[in-house]
Structure 1
Amino acid sequence: MPTALMRISRMFPAIAIALMAHPALASDSPPVVDIVTGSLSGVHDGKTGLNVYKGIPYAAPPVGPLRWKPPQPAAGWTGVRQADHFGPRCMQRAIFNDMVFRSDGMGEDCLYLNVWTPAHGPGEKLPVLVYFYGGGFIGGDGSEPRYDGASLARHGIVTVTVNYRLDVFGFLALPALATESPDHATGNYGLLDQAAALRWVQRNIAAFGGDPGQVTIGGESAGSMSVSALMASPLSKGLMQRAIGESGSVLGNLKPRPLALAEREGEAFQQRVGAHSLDQLRAMDAHKLLDAAGEKDVPEFGPTIDGYFLPRSPEDIYQSGEQAPVPLLVGSNSQEDKYTSLLGEQAPTPGNYRTAMEKRLGKHAAEALQLYPGRTGDEVKTSGTAFAGDQFIAFSTWRWMDMQRRTGHAPVYYYYFTQARPAKRDDSAGPDTGAVHSGDIEYALGNLPGNHVYAWTAADHRVSGIMENYWANFIKTGDPNSPGLPDWPAATSKDGGLLRQVIGVDTHTSADRNAARYDFLQRIDPDAHL
């Protein structure tokens, strides 16, 4: 019996030729790509024209004897593997109430990534974005709707989200682990996962129509910190051509832990859970380990100067200009934290503010009050919010921007995001007073429609359109500018400050004159770390 395509070819030869040239259009069958480890069957979205591949293993499951080892190569498979649903998220506690997951449960077997592509075959050489989620290195997942890659993919970008190990599973450091390591390294397994994902992209992204020579890495919060670390690491700095950081870096006050401290904390944790060897520790139930890591007096696990992924401190690496010499788009939000984190329940009066600053900064309080003045109630709110946001994450972001601008041999585009989220749809909360930490994600990635918590306005959509187009242009060219957008100059000295782009309802360029604040924070606590 003749096939449908054969019947069409007899009646409409031109149509048949077009269908043969585009196999994805020839039938309703799902798209299939061939990568190094085997064939993958994804999902074609008829509305957007995108092909989506979810839950692709980029490394072997880090379970059993592979717990606390660098990621190992993923095993190959025969036949066609279904890539139509997200893989499991990595082990994590339910800490963040703004995280919504579409993942297939949770477990240690979690090293999967997801690809959204507008290409309908290999060889199209589209620019690529690899995005790493935030969550303090203790939470997050590539399946979260706010990181969905479809909107940017519609701009002609192959978009990838990556899962990486978290918390005690991603960052435990122990002398015994260093002893068994061929590289004499311990900790940073989550960052090694990210580097492995970037190597996977180099080997496989062409099959999805992506160009391995046009890779941008990006992320928010811990994801942004990861980007700054990946730029510094000799294991990954050659695997990217551009970088995006949204709020956070491993510089300034968020430096990785010294190895000796991380190992001491790791040994204390091992004793706490009653394990007398690595074999016992690796045999322990994952949920028991996760619960122990979340106990009140256990230090959080995070990046370490391990001598391998990070051979020296990121500060030293950036100071020496040894980081990736790539264009950087980086910035922070207008309300990364709030004055209430400094004052607690106390009223925002000048007296209460001075007392709180003296308690926090001791002998440095007087100088701080010159930089963050609080002579009226309104000034206390403004300065207290600025100080809290700087100490939390804005200072580290500025430090990264400034060091890359000075030693990175590439343009740096600096921004300040000001758009406050609107009221919630259920009327449980009014609009935010500023752009809160993580509030930029849906705007930048074009994902406001996927967040049904907030009553987005026309102004929000306009701001998102500007921001997403900046991001898309940068991913394609290393420059956020294009006709129709407010001009965004690279960060250069002008008018007594540094040029940065204020992104909000009134998007414009202004001179940031806050360097004295950040120099002060660097000077009073040069040894601060995560």
Structure 2
Amino acid sequence: MSIIAVVTALALSIIPTGDTPTVSVQQGAVQGVQAEGVAAFKGIPYAAPPVGPLRWRPPQPVQPWSETRAADHVGAICIQPPANGDNAVGPGPMSEDCLTLNVFAPEGATEPLPVMFWVHGGGYVNGSGTADLYDGSNLARHGVVVVTINYRLGRHGFFDHPALAAERPAEEPAGNYGVMDMIAALKWVHANIGRFGGDASDVTIFGESAGGVAVSQLMLAPDARGLFAKAIIQSGVPQGATSRLDIATPSGPPLADRGASFAALKGVPADGTAEALRAIPAEAFLDPAPNFGGGDLVIADGRIVPTSIEDGFARGLQAPVPLIIGTNSNEFPWARADTHPMAQALTPEERTALIAAYDDADDFQGRFISDVMFNGPARWLARQHAARGHPVYLYSFDAWPDAMPQPHRGAWHAQERQYVFDTLSTSPWPTTARDEAVAKVASDYWATFARTGVPAAAGQPAWPALAEGHEEALVFHNDGVAVEAVPNAARLDLIAALLDRLKAAGLR
């Protein structure tokens, strides 16, 4: 047992039980709430509020507090556009003072428990760790400590400007403040989670969509190395950060120039001061125009995000940890194939061959985006990681509530979250006992992976690791799980070959 685990084991004896459990962290005491054997501590600050002079600065330490801090309610969500009823955003209020996390810990642990550290999705512009969808109580009942976090979003989290560059110390990282927040939260966990019964040496990072992309980036981040032992990527496109902090990208100019353009719309000229930038009201950042897309937000700065995910994994720069990675069967059925640049660049012969790989032209239009943006890239990243000798477990999620509307039924993008967290009560559609059974199995596989490094579930099939020449995935169906050949492998092979051709021709 590691020194950290020994210290954690000693700390377990001081964790109180009861309706209002209290734990002392490095900054002070926090008092949570207990329900059905799980102690929840919500809204704990892991970094100082990034306001005033700390806006667009790396996260700074939290000032200690002397009185016991109430941790019975979630903190504010980070500044973001209106949620429009999205159940992944969580309750308000909204504030720049949002760098908090939530801990869900089983009571009565007699030894340090593995930790599951959740990074929410939302394209780096929406979402929060405070949503009921991400309530970690049911997952914690599988014998793990669950941590969910907020991190800065949009232009608050990913931004630069000539005035900021001018005042910045040479050694200070820039631009990727949201990713810096994630690393700061991991460091807080490393220092404090033992007080909640967690094992700081056994942390699994997991995330979905942009959160899955973030997991890939954390696997490459030197500053995150050693802060986690396992990883799970759920529908996280292994792309992004393909640009650099100081150069133009195919979709726009350098980050600082884009920041200057945005600031000019808010009355701060390109030669304006950092003080003027920080005086822009937080609400001004709710204006969606000009909008930064997720792929333009995270920038390869050579330090926090050293390179693109594609380049980093191809070169074997990622953390050598066990990995679960997978996608949903019908990620974006409403997104038409012809809107994708690859489909637009195909020759007539290539297009005919590609459509033939689907059931028909309509099936091609509805499923191509899922294949080219999610299924294919996930398989590619899995292969890259496995080729380095690391255990990789591939999945396909194909379960959904019967009440989902037509015509786009199936496991949409993000559909698996409510099953993994076993929070089907947050579903926008009625669920059944069948859905509950799938949720119990999915959360069991995830938690067992966090505990052992090998995903398993009671009474369910053994999940094989990816092996060259023998690629299988665990497929979650409505009526159970099964080990199957990677779905639609021949189709993914064709898409990969066409992408290689387009890349060689300079069209990608």
How would you bin the TM-score normalised by the shorter chain? Answer: 0.7 to 0.9
Q: How does 1:428-467 map to 2 (within 5 A)?
A: 429=405, 433-451=409-427, 453-467=428-442
- Structure 1 CA distance, aligned partners of 2:419 and 2:231? 18
- Structure 2 CA distance, aligned partners of 1:468 and 1:49? 17
Alignment-derived partner of residue 281 in structure 2: 285
Q: Percent identical across equivalent pairs?
A: 36
Alignment-derived partner of residue 305 in structure 1: 300
* 2:32 alignment partner, one of 37, 42, 63: 42
- Structure 2 CA distance, aligned partners of 1:437 and 1:202? 31
TM-score calculated relative to the size of structure 2: 0.87
Alignment-derived partner of residue 127 in structure 1: 114
User: Which runs of no fewer than 5 residues in structure 1 stay unpaired?
Assistant: 1-20, 344-352
Alignment-derived partner of residue 257 in structure 1: 243
> Residue 298 and residue 227 in structure 1: after superposition, are their counterparts in 2 closer, same or farther (change >3 A)?
closer
> Residue 390 and residue 525 in structure 1: after superposition, are their counterparts in 2 closer, same or farther (change >3 A)?
farther
> Residue 361 and residue 469 in structure 1: after superposition, are their counterparts in 2 closer, same or farther (change >3 A)?
same
**Cα offset, 1:246, TM superposition:** 0.5
Alignment-derived partner of residue 397 in structure 1: 378
Deviates more, 1:160-169 or 1:96-105: 96-105
- In the alignment, is residue 508 of structure 1 matched against residue 504 of structure 2? no
- Structure 2 CA distance, aligned partners of 1:119 and 1:359? 52
* 2:468 alignment partner, one of 493, 496, 504: 493
After superposition, the CA RMSD in angstroms is: 2.6
Alignment-derived partner of residue 261 in structure 2: 268
> Residue 524 and residue 194 in structure 1: after superposition, are their counterparts in 2 closer, same or farther (change >3 A)?
same
- In the alignment, is residue 200 of structure 1 matched against residue 188 of structure 2? yes
Q: How does 1:225-264 map to 2 (within 5 A)?
A: 225-251=213-239, 254-259=240-245, 260=247, 261-264=254-257
**Cα offset, 1:358, TM superposition:** 9.3
Q: How does 1:64-103 map to 2 (within 5 A)?
A: 64-99=52-87, 101-103=89-91
Q: 1:212 is paired with a residue of what secondary structure?
A: strand
**Aligned residue type for 1:257:** S
Deviations 1:362-419 (A, max 9, x none): 34453244234278xx522322233111344334333322221223x32000001111
TM-score calculated relative to the size of structure 1: 0.84
Does the 8 Å CA contact 2:138/2:423 hold for their aligned counterparts?
yes
- Structure 1 CA distance, aligned partners of 2:374 and 2:122? 13
The structure number with the bigger radius of gyration is 1
> Residue 519 and residue 358 in structure 1: after superposition, are their counterparts in 2 closer, same or farther (change >3 A)?
closer
Does the 8 Å CA contact 1:420/1:432 hold for their aligned counterparts?
no
Alignment-derived partner of residue 452 in structure 2: 477
Alignment-derived partner of residue 140 in structure 1: 127
> Residue 521 and residue 421 in structure 1: after superposition, are their counterparts in 2 closer, same or farther (change >3 A)?
farther
- Structure 1 CA distance, aligned partners of 2:414 and 2:313? 26
- In the alignment, is residue 316 of structure 1 matched against residue 297 of structure 2? no
**Aligned residue type for 2:28:** G
Does the 8 Å CA contact 1:50/1:118 hold for their aligned counterparts?
yes
Does the 8 Å CA contact 2:332/2:413 hold for their aligned counterparts?
yes
> Residue 432 and residue 299 in structure 1: after superposition, are their counterparts in 2 closer, same or farther (change >3 A)?
closer
Alignment-derived partner of residue 412 in structure 1: 392
Does the 8 Å CA contact 2:441/2:457 hold for their aligned counterparts?
no
> Residue 23 and residue 277 in structure 1: after superposition, are their counterparts in 2 closer, same or farther (change >3 A)?
closer
User: Which runs of no fewer than 5 residues in structure 2 stay unpaired?
Assistant: 1-12, 248-253
Q: 2:203 is paired with a residue of what secondary structure?
A: strand
* 2:23 alignment partner, one of 29, 33, 48: 33
Does the 8 Å CA contact 1:337/1:392 hold for their aligned counterparts?
no
